[in-house]
Amino acid sequence: MDFPHPPEAARAALDALVSSDPDLAAILARAGPLPWRTRSPGFPGLLQAIVAQMISNQAAAAIWGRLRATPGALDPAGLLALPDDPLRAAGLSRPKVVHARALATAFLDGTLEPARLAQMDDEAAIAAIAAVRGMGRWSAEIYLLFALGRLDVFPAGDIALAAAVAQLKGLAPRPGPVALRSLADRWRPARSLAARLLWHHWRHATGRPALDDFPI
């Protein structure tokens, strides 16, 4: 699957980032140009984050494809109108059905509003999203990074990022979220770009595709 290159607004920051860290620069030399993956803002982008929680990208892609094909599932009111059976048939676990309904309710009652989220600073948007049942910080940071295009967000709870940093920097044991967030401070104000490069490295090193690499 072909992906666009980073947009102009990110290219200068990416150039500065790789100039400051030879390990990150080496990723591009080995793995090729950085693909620019994005997700839809609003309810679909956050629902996709719920789907991807705690499962492989291959499994998440299969579930997301079936969910997208379920009439009404990508609309808050439409999802709430669906019984559990089609959501379970798409592959959502019982807890994820509950979380998807909580997310849909948050959009319908105005707790979450796409335009308002886009205007918030990073920490305020993360706190608003993470307050919804089933979301959490990782889901919120993934949304800010891929759906809102924020340049300085680092999902330190992501296992693939921890594995990539450990391999790239020769660390043992693999850093936990607190240590990883501290390590990522050196990549401010472009931590999102560092995360994208590290995922790019991990896919190249392991052959494990991203969720978006699967045809849907």
Q: What CATH number is attached to the domain comprising 96?
A: 1.10.340.30
- Whether 31 and 55 share a structural domain: no
pTM: predicted TM-score of the whole model, two decimal places: 0.92
| Count of residues in the chain | 216
* Contact of 164 with 153, CB cutoff 8 Å: no
- For the record, the structure tokens of 48 come out as 């996709």
* Contact of 158 with 138, CB cutoff 8 Å: yes
- Whether 59 and 133 share a structural domain: yes
How far apart are alpha carbons 201 and 165 in whole angstroms?
A: 9
* Contact of 141 with 184, CB cutoff 8 Å: no
Please check whether residue 194 lies inside any domain of the structure. Answer: yes
Contacts of 112 (CB under 8 A, 6+ apart): 46, 103, 106, 128, 129, 132
- Whether 175 and 107 share a structural domain: no
- Whether 90 and 133 share a structural domain: yes
* Contact of 183 with 165, CB cutoff 8 Å: yes
Q: What CATH number is attached to the domain comprising 24?
A: 1.10.1670.40
Is residue 213 within a helix (H) or strand (E), and if so which, with residue range?
none
- Whether 197 and 109 share a structural domain: no
| 99 alpha-carbon distance from chain centroid | 17
How far apart are alpha carbons 75 and 107 in whole angstroms?
A: 10
pLDDT by residue for the chain (216 residues), tens only, comes to 456 778 888 999 999 999 999 999 999 999 999 999 999 999 999 999 999 998 888 899 999 999 999 999 999 999 999 999 999 999 999 999 999 999 999 999 999 999 999 999 999 999 999 999 999 999 999 999 999 999 999 999 999 999 999 999 999 999 999 999 999 999 999 999 999 999 999 999 988 776 665 443
Cα 152–Cα 158–Cα 161 angle in degrees, nearest 5: 75
Q: Provide the domain limits for residue 194.
A: 8-36+153-208
Q: What is the number of structural domains in the chain?
A: 2
